[in-house]
Every structure is written in structure tokens, then in C-alpha cells.
């Protein structure tokens, strides 16, 4: 065995000496440093990222102890561990983002800041290379998975995840500055990982619960040429789901339920999945492993067929931040973590480099203009973690808030944005043999190195607001080569590359995209989604692409139940939404008539400059006599990425086409006009769920808003209605939430009703005590009393929490 590997090594070295190129992605991306983004859509976002978000994220990392943890582990300062055990990774991600910014533009202050920060990180590293501040600090008061022993709880311990991000940061820092300070830390750690994990005697056979290190190891291999890092990445991939090789596997949540080559569909945590499939693509490209390729092709098809939101993101609430199964694409409870969008983009970029098909760039483009970009505010210092497609003003989708948040306890998303934005230009152009690819339409220039020529491509466009793109070709010398320009699927009436979403027949474009060279029309069939122009080019030749662009109504596949009878509006790569701020505060009451005629208009002063769509929709409301009426209502729609910059308000992407699906404002009742409070309400739930007049199907109804006292268990709790004015009341009806078989909420052990008399709470008088029953309203009648407030007190069952779906008062 040893002789064999020695022989292999000699062969590899000999191969290298002979100039033999090793296997890799057949298509090479043009690095982001060879692309200069000009004025237009992306430049302000990248400038804000560099000027605001990088510094802001570092400041937050300081304020929250993320950076002090390194100093403390390195004995540069005293104190215990602060925050969460995977916070080391956040610092790494901001360093990576900062390094990309440095690579694009010198910044002495930032450069020096990184130097000081890296001193702390290097100090935190143990002598043998181990880097994990939670353990090195050894704070007896801080508990985390695997505290007992190194590498003992990889399912949740994140030891390998943290350093994976550190490798990426270190390489970015080295490439931007030429300094090896962080790279040395990364290599020392990676060497320890390679020594610790493997198939040999004395090594651990295990995998990281949160993938990411695979990508980092491959990057280390590319930089150093040291095969062991590639082998290590492959080992982690090969050992996933291997119940025959490991004492314990970690199940579907971590894509560890079966070996990769047997996996058929996307399951589990969406960020882990995205990083995993991206890492597999890297290793497949470098090793030529056909089984790997088949596996990720299959999984990709599964995602685009039935698990991808129209905004180009993945993952659901209640599914462990992950895939909930085929067609399960709920809108209010869409999770669509910003990190999952980024992971999906990284994966799709790699799929393009493997296959050269534009459908991967179609997904990538949908992600970057929608599900990713919504994750960071225009100001660069407020963030979405989940990105839902409806805001009902009840469900606090953004980890306990209904607005963009300045930071999160687990703040993976804000620090992921900061590294993704500056690297985005690296996805615009690519090259294979004597072919230059144009995948994204972004103003500016890209330098493509062909085997016999260097070519500068200059794009001029108002994309995504306009479908005209002008590309000036400036080769170093005149000569023949091919230009492949992506014709986006959306321009051919295919919003995403599957039949999950379809443009309504009436809204299909009545002309096809066109392209010209120096004004002369070219017509050739598309190749894998690309317009191919092969000719002898002269400096100054101009290619003009004209893509049809208009507002289109898109329907979802029949199997997506929440979207039945609804349409989403797209225009080019953008998905639109209706937001309260533009529509008199309410949008859930809207529905679109058969022919809504949505007209575009560019508003330079709105939301950083956006094209809005306006038209006449209809809305449902109640007349004075209580009857339901519908009438025309002006509708204004804004790009989804730009929503929620004007306070918390209703938002909807999938608009009903029929009045029956439009939401009526609640009928004014004692309950619906009351102010609702509770002893405690879980961050993702809402006290407003109790009086929203949404009738539960059963006690385990997860499709409507709820109030829960989660995670209080076995305690005494209360909820309270403060009436709009004093009323005579004689009964209440309560529908308890109980998720037996799924969670730890149960109907309460007992409950009682109190009324307010002046400042005092008094028990109501009743002939019987209230009963507790699942799956129906628990009606409780008592001696009538005039009061301005009612309170329900509950005793939760021992070891269980509880909640309420609806509470009526009569
Ligand atoms: Zn995240």
C-alpha cells in the first residue's frame, strides 16, 4: 500500500514536471479580480458592502465577544467564552469578505485591522494546530455539544465547520495581501485535521455535522498543490451516511442518512446541503468521480423540480431550516435562509463550470436578484435571516421580528452576505478553450484569457430594468474565437429550468431574444442555452443582445397547494411583491383580475432606484351591513429584494386571482378589537394569532398563526384581552394548540378565566369548571359580567409547553 502511494506520488510529480495538467472543472471562471463592475445595479450594493457592512460586521463581532473569544483563548486577555460555540466562523466569514474588498481596492486601515485581528486568531490556536475558542478557553460555565473531548460531538459541535470557513478566509487574505499570517494558521489546523481523520489505524472515521470544510480543503489544495487536502475533502464526503464504517451517523438533517452516491433527493438543513453539494462538485471536478456527478445532478434536478421557491431559495420553517419535502412551498412560513440562498448560488455556479449549461446560471441569477439580495438592507446594516414570501403581520418570521434586524444571536447570514457580494463578479464571465462565456449582465469590464488571445469584454446595460445589453469586444489581437452569451430562461418564458413555474399563456412574450454583431442580425440555434457567436473578431466589435422584458404572471405547479389560484409577478430576473407601504397599508385583501395590465415605471428616488409596476387590482372588504364587497384598488408592486425598508408591513408575492382567496379584515368583535398580551410568547409565534379569526382544522394545525408559551414547560401562564371598551360577557371559547407526535406542546392541565374589576383580577363565577379537549373549541359559559379585560390562566402539563390557536369571547 505504502509503495503504491509512493509510486502514485512519483507519477503525480513526474506528471507535473512534464507540464501535464490535472483534471479540473472543464470551464474556468474569470476571477472576480479580473472583473470591474461599473455604474449600475450592483456597484452601489458592493460599495455599501465595502464601506458599511464589513466594518459594521466587525464592530458587531467585537461587541458580542466573538473577537474577544480569540484573544481569551490566546491568553491575550482574561475572561470566559461569550456567545455560541460556532461564532468563530462568523469572524472568519467577515475576514474573507474584507479580504475580497482589499483585493478589489486597497484600504490601509482595513488591512491593518486584519493584521491585528489575525494576531488574536493565531494566539488562540493550540500548539498542535487545534483552533476552537470554546474549548481552548475552557470556561466551566459554558456548555456546548462535545465539551468533554475534542471531536466527540461532530454532529453539532461545529469544530470542523468553523475552521473550514477559516481556511477560506486565510486563502482570501493571502491572495489579497500576500501575507501568510492567517494562511499559516489554516495550514497548521488543516494538517491536524488530516492527521486526525482518516481510514488508518488510530484515525477517527467521522464527518462534520455541518459541511463547509470540504470547500475550504479543496481551496487549500488548489493553493498549495498538496494532495492530502483534496484526499481529506473526499474522505469526509465518502464517509457520509456510511453506517458500515462509522459507529453512528447523523441522519437526514445533515445529509448523513445514506452514502452520497445513493442519495436521490435534497433533504435536511438547506445550508449544509448547499455547501455539501458545492464541495462534492469541487471534488468531482478534480477527481473525475462520475458517481459523485450523477448524485449531484439528481439532487439538483429534485431541487428545481419541486423544492425551489420562485425567488430562488430553499428551506422551510418547521423543517429544521431545511427541505420540507416535494412541493412543500408555504409562503408565510418559508424559511429561505439568506445563507441557503448563498449556498445554492455557490453550488449552481459550480454546476455551470461542470456542465456549461445556462440553466445553472438561470438559477444563480434568480438567487442573486431575489432570495439573496433581500437578505441585506440597502443601507448594509440590517438583515433578514429567513426570507418569506408573505408577511401577514402576525408571524415574526425574522427570528422574533417582522422587520430587518441589526444582528442575530446566531448571525451566520449577515457575515455571509459580506463575503458573497464582493465575490459575485467572479460569476459573470468564464472561459473554456477558445470560448468566452457571458453568464450575467452587469455593467463593467471583464478580462478573459483565451489560449491564444486576451479579450476584454465591456458590458453596457441597464439590466435588470431593461433587456438591452451591449458588449464591446476588445481582443489583444484580431482573431477567431467564440463568444457564448447566455440567453436567460426567463426571456424564453421559463422562469426557472423546470415546470415548477410557468408563465400564463396570455403573458408569454410575442418575440424571441435577438442578437447582432456590429448591427447585423445573427440567427443560430441556442447551444445549452447560449447564443454562440464564432467569428474573427476585431477590436471594437459590438454584440447587442435584446431580451424581451415585461411584467409576467407566473403560476406554480398544481401540486404546490399554497399557490393554487395565485400568481407571482416577474419582470426579467426580478420577482415582484406587493407591500403595505405602497398600497394603503394592506395587501392581503388584494386579488388580481383576469387582465391586470401592470405598467412599469422607473422611480430613481424610491428604494435606491427601482422599476415599480402599477395597475388596478381589486380588494375585498366589508360593507356597513357586514356583507362582503369587492372594488377596484390601485396596486403598486416593488422588487421583492427591496421590500421592508419602510417599517414592518404586510407583503405578498403570490397574489390571489379570485376574491375567495383574498383576505378579509377580521369582523369587528370583542376579541378582534382587543389588545392581546401574554405572560410569554415564543419569538416565532404571535399573540395576535388568537383573535385573527382563522379557524383551526385541528389542534395540530401548523398552517395558521398560533400563540405558544414555548419554551416554558410545566409553568403557570396567562393570556389577556384588553377590550376596546367595557362589555358584558358570558362565555369564551378556546382552541388549544397541541402538536403531539411532532413537538412538545400539549393542551394545558387546567385553565380558568378571570375578569378585571378596577385594578383587581377576580375569578368569574360559573356552574362548572372548564374542560380541556383537543381538536375543538373549548366553550366555557359563566355568569355574565361587565368588564374591560379578560384573562385566561393555565397550568401547563408537567414537562410540556402549550399554546392557543384561537380565542373567542361572547
Ligand atoms: Zn445564515
pLDDT(38) > 60: yes
Cα separation of 367 and 345, whole Å? 6
Taking the centre of ligand 1 as the mean of its atom positions, its distance from the CA of residue 411, in whole angstroms, is: 6
CA of 493 to the centre of ligand 1 (A): 32
Q: Residue 169 C-alpha to ligand 1 middle, in angstroms?
A: 17
Q: What is the pLDDT of residues 575-606, one digit of tens each?
A: 999 999 999 999 999 999 888 899 999 999 99
Tell me the per-residue pLDDT of 529-561, one tens digit each, with 9 for 90 and over: 999 999 999 999 999 999 999 999 999 999 999
Q: How far does the centroid of ligand 1 lie from the alpha carbon of residue 662, in Å?
A: 32
Calculate how far, in angstroms, residue 414's C-alpha sits from the geometric centre of ligand 1: 7
Distance between Cα 385 and ligand 1 center (Å)? 6
Give the Å distance between the CA of 338 and the centre of ligand 1. Answer: 6
Q: Are 157 and 213 in contact (CB under 8 A)?
A: no
Distance CA 212, CA 271 (A): 9
DSSP secondary structure code for residue 327 in this structure = T
CA of 94 to the centre of ligand 1 (A): 13
pLDDT in tens, 307-346: 999 999 999 987 889 999 999 999 999 999 999 999 999 9
Q: How far apart are the CA of 387 and the centre of ligand 1, in A?
A: 11
Cα 9 to ligand 1 centroid, rounded to whole Å: 40
Q: Measured between alpha carbons, how far is 42 from 136 in angstroms, rounded to an integer? A: 41
Region 91-102: what's the mean pLDDT?
98
Ligand 1 centroid to Cα of residue 20, in Å, is 41
Distance CA 35, CA 386 (A): 31
Rounded to the nearest whole angstrom, what is the distance from the C-alpha of residue 713 to the centroid of ligand 1? 28
Q: Side by side, which strands form the sheet with 35-37?
A: 35-37, 444-450, 453-461, 468-475, 541-546, 514-517, 520-522
pLDDT computed for residue 285 by the predictor = 98
Contacts of 809 (CB under 8 A, 6+ apart): 669, 670, 671, 674, 721, 727, 729, 731, 732, 790
- Cα–Cα distance between 770 and 772 in angstroms, integer? 7
Low-confidence winner among 20-34, 156-170, 297-311 (lowest mean pLDDT): 20-34
Average pLDDT, integer, range 274-293: 98
Measure 517 CA to ligand 1 centroid, in angstroms.
44
Distance 266 CA to ligand 1 centre (A): 18
pLDDT given at position 694: 86
Confidence of residue 3 (pLDDT cuts 50, 70, 90): low
Measure 161 CA to ligand 1 centroid, in angstroms. Answer: 13
Ligand 1 centroid, distance to 302 Cα (angstroms): 23
pLDDT at 475: 98
Task: Note the pLDDT tens digit of each residue in 659-718.
Answer: 999 998 777 889 988 999 999 999 778 898 999 888 899 999 988 889 999 999 999 999
**What's the 431 CA to ligand 1 centre distance in angstroms?**
31
SS3 132: coil
What was the pLDDT predicted at 8? 47
At residue 16, does pLDDT exceed 70? no
- Confidence band of 13 (pLDDT split at 50, 70, 90): very low
Q: For residue 269, report the distance from its CA to the centre of ligand 1, in Å.
A: 11
Mean pLDDT along residues 720-725: 94
pLDDT (mean) for 167-186: 98
* Residue 58 clears pLDDT 90, i.e. is over it: yes
Q: What confidence score (pLDDT) does residue 230 get? A: 98
Angle (CA) 588 490 306, round 5°:
65
704-733 average pLDDT score: 94
Give 190 Cα–ligand 1 centroid separation in angstroms. 24
- One DSSP character per residue, 216-281 reads HHHHHHHHH--HHHHHHHHHHHHTTT-TTTSS---BGGGTBSS-GGG--S--SBHHHHHHHHHHHH
Q: For residue 321, report the distance from its CA to the centre of ligand 1, in Å.
A: 9
Each residue's pLDDT tens digit, 780-801? 999 999 999 999 999 999 999 9
pLDDT tens, residue by residue, 199-257 = 999 999 999 999 999 999 999 999 999 999 999 999 999 999 999 999 999 999 999 99
Distance 341 CA to ligand 1 centre (A): 9
- Residue 123 pLDDT > 80: yes
Q: Ligand 1 mean position to 408 CA, how many Å?
A: 10
CA of 340 to the centre of ligand 1 (A): 7
pLDDT grade for 9, boundaries at 50, 70 and 90: very low
Per-residue pLDDT at 19: 46
**How far apart are the CA of 413 and the centre of ligand 1, in A?**
4
Residue 535 confidence (pLDDT): 96
Mean pLDDT value across the chain: 95
Q: How far apart, in whole angstroms, are the C-alpha atoms of residue 800 and residue 773?
A: 16
The pTM for the full model equals 0.88
**Mean pLDDT value of segment 39-62:** 98
Q: What is the pLDDT of residues 181-207, one digit of tens each?
A: 999 999 999 999 999 999 999 999 999
Amino acid at each position: 500500500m505504502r509503495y503504491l502511494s509512493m509510486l502514485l506520488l512519483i507519477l503525480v510529480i513526474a506528471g507535473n514536471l512534464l507540464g501535464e495538467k490535472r483534471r479540473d472543472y472543464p470551464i474556468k471562471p474569470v476571477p472576480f479580480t479580473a472583473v470591474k463592475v461599473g455604474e449600475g445595479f450592483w456597484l452601489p450594493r458592493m460599495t455599501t458592502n465595502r464601506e458599511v457592512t464589513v466594518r459594521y460586521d466587525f464592530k458587531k463581532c467585537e461587541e458580542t465577544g466573538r473577537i474577544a473569544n480569540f484573544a481569551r483563548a490566546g491568553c491575550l486577555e482574561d475572561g470566559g467564552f461569550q456567545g455560541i460555540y460556532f461564532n468563530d466562523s462568523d469572524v472568519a466569514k467577515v475576514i474573507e469578505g474584507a479580504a475580497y474588498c482589499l483585493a478589489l481596492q486597497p484600504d490601509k486601515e482595513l488591512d491593518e485591522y486584519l493584521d491585528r485581528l489575525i494576531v488574536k486568531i493565531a494566539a488562540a490556536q493550540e500548539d498542535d494546530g487545534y483552533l476552537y475558542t470554546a474549548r481552548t478557553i475552557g470556561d466551566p460555565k459554558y456548555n456546548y455539544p462535545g465539551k468533554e473531548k475534542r471531536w466527540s460531538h461532530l454532529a453539532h459541535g461545529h469544530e470542523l465547520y468553523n475552521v473550514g470557513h477559516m481556511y477560506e478566509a486565510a486563502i482570501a487574505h493571502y491572495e489579497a495581501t500576500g501575507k501568510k499570517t492567517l494562511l499559516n494558521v489554516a495550514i497548521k489546523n488543516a494538517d491536524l485535521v488530516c492527521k486526525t481523520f482518516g481510514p488508518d489505524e488510530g484515525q477517527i472515521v467521522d464527518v462534520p455535522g455541518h459541511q463547509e470544510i470540504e470547500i475550504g480543503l479543496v481551496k487549500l489544495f488548489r493553493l498549495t498543490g498538496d494532495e492530502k487536502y483534496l484526499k481529506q475533502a473526499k474522505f469526509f464526503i465518502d464517509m457520509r451516511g456510511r453506517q458500515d464504517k462509522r459507529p453512528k451517523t447523523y441522519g437526514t438533517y445533515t445529509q448523513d442518512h445514506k452514502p452520497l452516491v445513493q442519495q436521490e433527493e435534497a433533504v435536511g438543513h438547506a445550508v449544509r446541503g448547499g455547501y455539501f453539494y458545492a464541495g462534492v462538485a469541487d471534488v468531482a471536478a478534480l477527481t473525475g468521480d462520475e458517481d459523485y456527478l450523477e448524485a449531484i445532478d439528481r439532487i439538483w434536478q429534485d431541487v428545481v423540480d419541486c423544492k425551489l421557491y420562485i425567488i430562488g431559495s430553499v428551506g422551510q420553517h418547521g423543517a429544521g431550516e431545511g427541505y420540507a419535502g416535494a412541493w412543500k412551498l408555504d409562503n408565510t412560513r418559508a424559511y429561505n435562509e439568506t445563507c441557503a440562498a448563498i449556498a445554492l448560488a455557490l453550488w449552481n455556479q459550480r454546476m455551470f463550470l461542470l456542465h456549461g449549461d445556462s440553466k445553472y446560471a438561470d438559477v444563480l441569477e434568480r438567487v442573486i436578484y431575489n432570495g439573496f439580495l433581500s437578505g441585506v438592507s440597502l443601507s448594509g446594516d440590517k438583515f433578514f435571516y429567513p426570507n418569506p414570501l408573505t408577511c401577514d403581520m402576525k408571524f415574526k418570521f425574522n427570528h422574533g421580528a417582522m422587520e430587518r434586524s441589526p444582528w442575530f444571536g446566531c448571525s451566520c447570514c449577515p457575515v455571509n452576505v459580506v463575503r458573497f457580494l464582493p465575490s459575485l463578479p467572479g460569476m459573470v464571465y468564464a472561459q473554456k478553450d477558445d470560448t468566452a462565456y457571458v453568464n450575467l449582465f452587469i455593467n463593467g469590464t471583464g478580462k478573459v484569457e483565451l489560449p491564444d488571445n486576451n479579450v476584454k469584454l465591456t458590458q453596457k446595460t441597464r439590466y435588470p430594468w431593461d433587456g438591452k445589453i451591449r458588449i464591446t469586444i476588445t481582443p489583444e489581437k484580431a482573431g477567431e474565437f467564440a463568444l457564448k452569451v447566455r440567453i436567460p430562461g426567463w426571456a424564453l418564458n421559463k422562469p426557472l429550468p423546470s415546470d415548477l413555474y410557468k408563465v400564463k399563456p396570455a403573458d408569454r412574450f410575442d418575440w424571441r431574444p435577438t442578437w447582432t454583431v456590429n448591427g447585423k442580425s445573427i440567427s443560430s440555434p441556442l447551444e445549452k442555452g447560449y447564443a454562440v457567436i464564432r467569428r474573427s473578431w476585431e477590436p471594437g466589435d459590438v454584440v447587442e443582445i435584446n431580451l424581451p422584458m415585461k411584467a409576467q404572471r407566473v403560476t406554480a405547479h398544481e401540486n404546490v397547494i399554497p399557490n393554487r389560484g395565485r400568481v407571482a409577478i416577474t419582470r426579467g430576473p426580478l420577482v415582484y411583491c406587493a407591500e403595505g407601504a405602497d398600497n394603503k397599508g394592506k395587501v392581503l385583501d388584494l386579488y388580481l383580475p383576469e387582465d391586470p395590465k401592470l405598467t412599469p415605471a422607473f422611480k430613481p428616488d424610491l428604494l435606491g432606484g427601482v422599476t415599480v409596476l402599477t395597475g388596478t387590482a381589486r380588494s375585498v372588504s366589508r360593507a356597513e351591513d357586514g356583507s362582503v364587497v369587492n372594488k377596484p384598488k390601485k396596486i403598486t408592486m416593488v422588487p421583492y429584494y427591496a421590500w421592508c425598508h419602510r417599517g414592518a408591513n404586510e407583503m405578498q408575492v403570490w397574489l390571489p386571482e379570485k376574491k375567495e382567496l383574498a383576505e378579509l379584515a377580521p369582523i369587528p368583535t370583542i376579541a378582534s378589537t382587543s389588545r392581546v398580551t401574554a405572560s410569554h410568547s415564543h419569538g416565532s409565534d404571535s399573540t395576535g394569532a388568537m383573535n385573527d379569526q382563522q379557524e383551526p382544522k385541528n389542534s395540530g394545525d401548523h398552517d395558521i398563526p398560533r400563540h405558544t408559551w414555548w419554551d416554558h414547560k410545566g409553568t403557570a401562564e396567562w393570556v389577556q384581552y384588553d377590550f376596546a371598551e367595557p362589555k358584558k360577557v358570558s362565555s369564551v371559547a378556546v382552541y388549544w394548540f397541541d402538536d403531539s407526535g411532532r413537538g412538545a406542546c400539549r393542551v394545558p392541565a387546567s385553565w380558568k378565566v378571570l375578569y378585571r374589576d378596577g385594578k383587581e383580577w377576580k375569578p368569574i363565577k360559573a356552574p362548572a369548571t372548564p374542560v380541556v379537549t383537543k381538536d375543538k373549541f373549548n366553550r366555557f359559559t359563566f355568569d355574565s359580567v361587565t368588564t374591560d379585560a379578560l384573562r385566561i390562566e393555565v397550568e401547563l402539563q408537567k414537562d410540556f409547553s402549550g399554546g392557543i390557536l384561537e380565542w373567542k369571547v361572547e
